[in-house]
């Protein structure tokens, strides 16, 4: 068994993947045809070419166009079902999915209660039919007015299946102004997981730490530019949700070989691997593990640690965490046994 085959077969948990950004070209084509939406391409190959990341404005264009293909709550349920089927096929046991309810409401006209019910139906299908679980991270979009952000916070703190409040979008559009949202989330015992340190430097991460105590940080890789901050992240036990291919694509890191993942691990920071917006960055969670294993010479023990970091950082019940730990432990042992016998 090659290391790539091992990466594909091993059990995993994924904590940083965007619902809208995970929609496969096949699903987008199906939605566009069903809902009469015109796209820049009307074939699967053409759509895959259009999906290819070129720059951030193009990424936003694709993201918005994909979102506009969603017209009904049933579309959302279908996307969730197909997403979880894809996770199951990659041996992902549990996912925590960032979901931008405000954008779906604005572009698609679907009220949050209808969105929520559809997503729960899809998540129940995943649990009962596929044996995989999922939690939602409802995110605030940077640049949106505080009033809108507070509305999202209200949805997040009162809705079943939502495990955290998120903060996403372009980092330069602000962080500190959303402190009242974080305060409300904490008042209602909902964790906060912001995107930070992806395309801007360490200060955005510091801003996030200033207005709350994040359970995890999405990306966070630019922390490496400030070793005092790195030490603080390590000492506070904050898990960084690292998405290497995405970091390279958007320009936060020049090449995969230059990615700070191994340096962060050497500094004792907890990290886990994720796919972010997989079809848009020509990747998958399987590929992220395989690419990093090859680029940084990660052995099976390090891969096990990365997966267990995700298990330990997941926002699940103690019972579910115990199940995940056991499944990962047994899955790795079985694969290692197969590798030794081969």
Q: Please identify which of the residues 198, 241, 287, 288 carries the catalytic annotation.
A: 198
pLDDT at 50: 85
Domains of the chain: 3-341 (3.20.20.140)
pLDDT at 342: 66
pLDDT at 57: 78
pLDDT at 94: 98
What's the rounded Cα separation, in Å, for the pair 164 and 40?
35
What's the rounded Cα separation, in Å, for the pair 40 and 46?
8
Q: What is the mean pLDDT of each successive set of 10 residues along the chain, which is 342 residues long?
A: 94 97 89 89 85 79 86 96 97 98 93 98 98 98 97 98 96 95 98 95 96 95 97 97 94 92 97 94 96 96 98 98 98 89 70
**For this structure, is 77 an active site residue?**
no
Q: What is the pTM of this model?
A: 0.95
pLDDT at 40: 85
């Amino acid at each position: 068994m090659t290391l790539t085959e091992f990466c594909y077969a091993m059990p995993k948990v994924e904590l940083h993947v965007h619902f809208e950004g995970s929609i496969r070209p096949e699903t987008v084509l199906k939605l566009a045809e069903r809902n009469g939406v015109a796209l820049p391409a009307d074939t699967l190959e053409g759509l895959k070419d259009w999906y290819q990341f070129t720059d951030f404005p193009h990424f936003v264009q694709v993201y918005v166009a994909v979102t506009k293909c969603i017209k009904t709550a049933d579309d959302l349920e279908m996307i969730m079902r197909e997403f979880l089927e894809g996770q199951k096929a990659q041996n992902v046991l549990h996912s925590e999915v960032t979901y931008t309810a405000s954008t779906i409401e604005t572009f698609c006209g679907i009220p949050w209660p209808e969105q929520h019910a559809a997503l729960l139906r899809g998540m129940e299908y995943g649990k009962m039919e596929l044996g995989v679980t999922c939690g939602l991270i409802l995110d605030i979009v940077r640049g949106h007015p505080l009033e809108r952000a507070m509305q999202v916070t209200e949805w997040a703190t009162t809705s079943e299946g939502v495990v955290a409040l998120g903060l996403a979008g372009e980092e330069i559009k602000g962080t500190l102004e959303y402190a009242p949202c974080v305060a409300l989330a904490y008042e209602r015992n909902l964790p906060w997981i912001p995107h930070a340190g992806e395309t801007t430097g360490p200060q955005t991460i510091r801003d996030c730490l200033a207005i709350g105590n994040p359970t995890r940080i999405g990306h966070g890789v630019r922390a490496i530019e400030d070793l005092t901050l790195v030490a603080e992240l390590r000492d506070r036990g904050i898990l960084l949700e690292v998405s290497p291919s995405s970091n390279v694509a958007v320009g936060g890191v020049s090449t995969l070989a230059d990615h700070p993942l191994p340096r962060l691990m050497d500094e004792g920071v907890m990290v886990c691997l994720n796919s972010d917006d997989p079809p848009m960055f020509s990747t998958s969670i399987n590929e992220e593990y395989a690419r990093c294993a090859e680029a940084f010479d990660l052995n099976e023990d390090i891969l096990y640690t990365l997966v267990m970091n995700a298990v330990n950082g997941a926002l699940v019940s103690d019972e579910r965490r115990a199940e995940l730990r056991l499944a990962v432990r047994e899955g790795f042992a079985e694969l290692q046994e197969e590798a030794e016998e081969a």
